A and B are shown apart, each in its own frame.
Chain A
Amino acid sequence: MSLVIEEINRSKKVIQRFKFDERQEIRIGRALDNDVILNEPHVSPHHLILRQTDAGTWVAEDLNSVNGIRNSKRKLIPSGCQVKSGDTLLLGRSYLTIYDEQHPVEEAWSLHSIEDVFHYLSHPLVVFGLLVTFIFLEWQLTQAQEYRELSPSRLMNQLMYQLVVIFGWSSLWSLNGRILRHDSRFLSHLAVSLVAAMAYQWLPWLLRLLTYNWHLGLWYIEIGYFINGIIFSSMLWCNFYLALPQRPLSRILWVNGLTWSLVMIYLLPPMFDDQGFRSYPRYDSSLLPYSVQFVDSKSTNDFVKDTEVLFKRPKEQQNKQ
């Protein structure tokens, strides 16, 4: 029966893998005459022998090594102990996992449908197109928001700052991918960041439309954080997908956990702030052209009727009397 030996690192990534057919014993150590050669100074030149017994099981025999053999719980195991398929042995600082060739492996992860989208997005022409669109939109939208004269130097500063963040973020994730999956995919990350940046560009407009029509202007910041969270978690999901070998469920949990705890850090503390007495009215002051008013207007009488409720004093204020 064949035996597979994996050298893994502390986070269980496989460094090298050996397969031995029909062998009675396998020698492991730092010396070059071993079957498995470990280049780790805490491993003895001849550290141990794995030997097959008559019953077909395997035992580990310590060859008087300096640091001994330890199991996955870092306990020293005596020489001659039986080794089962899937057991991990710690020699010095090297981890070895021993498998029977019949040892079951996990089913294949199904490929996400977005994989093709990332493939097309990472085409240099597409990325360039996104970049140009982003810059153009930034210029146009800033101009539409500003009724005083638009200063080119300010726009340029703003653009440079945003581009540094976009490129920085993409580089960080492609570096992650390079380390963890040997696959940097810089252009895909850049495309994802640019798409997210464009979503952020439209966010204030979307927010203004929503809050104007439904009179939610006083919740502008809270709604803003919520939509911000949605955009950020989508972007982070893509970054995680591209850079990290992760299961779909744990990816979703990680991404949302990170995003919403970040949102809460901004949203929660103000709720505990002491609200002093406001002698000025707090009202929704947003104004937009009639062309983007989607809800119906009230008649004068209905408006007057709706305001009657304001003359009833709210309960919490009654108590202060």
Chain B
Amino acid sequence: MSFKSNLIRLFVISLLVVFSCTGLDASTQTVDENQERNAKQLFQDFKNRLYQVRTIDNASGSKASIGSAFAVQPNGILATNYHVVSKYILASEKYSLEVLTDAQNTLKAEVLSIDVINDLALLKVSKQASLPVIDFATSIPEQGDSIFSLGNPRDLGMTVVPGTYNGTTAHSMYDRILFSGSINPGMSGGPVLNTAGQLVGINVATSGNQISFLVPLQKLQTLIEQHDQNQTVDFETQAATQLISNQQRLMSAILDTQWQTIALGDAEVIGEVNDFITCWGESDTRGKDLFQQVYRRCRNSEYIYMAPDFSTGIFEMEFYFYSSEKLTNWQFYRMLNDAFASVSAGNVASEDHVTEYQCHSDFVGTKNTKISKAVYCVRQYRQYPELYDVLFLSASTSHQLKSLVSHYTLSGVNQVNAQQFLTRFLEQVQ
């Protein structure tokens, strides 16, 4: 079994936007908020408020990644995506951060605050004169409204992409806006404006043809409010707090509901647990009619980007029911062995971020009819020692020529939630 996400998301890496510091008077920049504008007008009016963010590798002196940003406060505060500046945050001794203005001026930038769950970051640039800012929309657009994404795709230059607001994505825990328009790498962190030239969201990710995702404006407003109120804490603590409360929200949403059971082959498995966990299934007779396989796979479609080699926030659950009439019992278990041997976690994590898995295996079951072999593996997050990835795998062995193979991965959960889920899963799935 290999676990591939049905929805492969590309994170968009943004390009630096040039900041205009030509002698333009701020008053000439004011736009009429009631005026309906097309893409051409919007771009003309706002191109001097767009920036390209560059993560510079100090050793080579070259840009290692790029993204887009825009000014939210005249005192030099810009907003962008967390993933645009994640390399710099994780290794600030190796990288430095630069912002390129519309007029091709380079400014040094620092990170002020981050929101890893909603993929946002606030930057501060060293700029004396006040920056023209992008105003926030006061109302949420309606489905079908034209909105415009701005950003610098693949360092090709600042672009404007018209598209359609299509509400919040279904089956989502994080309220992403579904934008029907093309966002490309480099545009991450760029603003998305309504026809009045007000901010409605921030470019964050794409999923292929005209399917793009935006972080809603409200998330940015919350981050700015928190930043204005709070003392600055280090980013590790900030990320840890966000990850811990987010996993609590996710796991409560799962654990506080009644799990319905549905039939899969002759077995009873867990049905839909939650709106943001979607299930897919298929049956397969690839073994030349020697055995039958039916599977059901449930997972959340979102994950939390932490670093290029580290993601978390994944929940996945899989059930495979195998049966055969033609194989002998030994042959059947031989076949099952192959299916049982190659499970891995659904999230990416490298040595810098997690420990190696430690596994425990045993036979579980009380009555002779419900025995299964279970494997449970745990790895700890190095930067956030309260959080773990857990991986569970079991195969029922008590029936002749029938077996249910179950697997789940929880990533970025604490011990209490992980063990509560394990207990419940063991009791419910047999």
Contact across chains for B375 and A145 when beta carbons are under 8 A apart: no
Pick from B333, B362, B400: contact of A306, CB under 8 Å = B362
Complexed CA–CA distance, A307 and B415 (Å): 11
Pick from B288, B336, B360, B415: contact of A287, CB under 8 Å = B336
Contact across chains for A313 and B333 when beta carbons are under 8 A apart: no
A215 at the interface (CB under 8 A from B): yes
Contact across chains for A321 and B351 when beta carbons are under 8 A apart: no
How many A-B pairs have beta carbons closer than 8 Å: the answer is: 144
Given A280-B357, A283-B375, A311-B380, the answer on whether A147 and B419 have CB atoms closer than 8 Å is no
Which residues of B from 268 to 297 have beta carbons under 8 Å from A?
287-288, 290-291
In the complex formed, the residue of B with least CB distance to A318 is B355
What is the 8 Å Cβ interface bit string for chain A, positions 282-321, against chain B (1 contact, 0 not)? 1111111111010111111101101111110110010011
Given A280-B344, A285-B341, the answer on whether A311 and B423 have CB atoms closer than 8 Å is no
Contact across chains for A288 and B380 when beta carbons are under 8 A apart: no
What is the 8 Å Cβ interface bit string for chain B, positions 408-430, against chain A (1 contact, 0 not)? 00000001001100110011000
In the complex formed, the residue of A with least CB distance to B341 is A285
Residue in A278, A288, A295, A321 whose Cβ sees the most chain B Cβ within 10 Å:
A288
Given the complex, which residues of B lie within 8 Å of A290, measured CB to CB?
368, 371, 397-398
A277 at the interface (CB under 8 A from B): yes
Binding site for A on B (CB under 8 A): 287-288, 290-291, 327-337, 340-341, 343-345, 348-351, 354-366, 368, 371, 373-380, 382, 385, 388, 391, 393, 395, 397-398, 400, 415, 418-419, 422-423, 426-427
Number of A residues near B (Cβ < 8 Å) is 44
Given the complex, which residues of A lie within 8 Å of B419, measured CB to CB?
304, 307-308
Given A304-B422, A307-B419, A311-B380, the answer on whether A281 and B359 have CB atoms closer than 8 Å is yes
Contact across chains for B331 and A147 when beta carbons are under 8 A apart: yes
Q: Classify the secondary structure of B's interface with A.
A: mixed
Binding site for B on A (CB under 8 A): 144-149, 215, 217, 277-291, 293, 295-301, 303-304, 306-311, 313-314, 317, 320-321
Complexed CA–CA distance, A146 and B365 (Å): 29
Give chain A nearest CB distance to B209 CB in angstroms: 32
Contact across chains for A300 and B350 when beta carbons are under 8 A apart: no
Q: Given A297-B362, A307-B422, 5 more contacts at CB 8 Å? A: A277-B351, A287-B340, A289-B330, A306-B360, A306-B362
Complexed CA–CA distance, A291 and B328 (Å): 14
In the complex formed, the residue of A with least CB distance to B353 is A279
Contact across chains for A317 and B357 when beta carbons are under 8 A apart: no
Pick from A147, A281, A284, A317: contact of B327, CB under 8 Å = A147
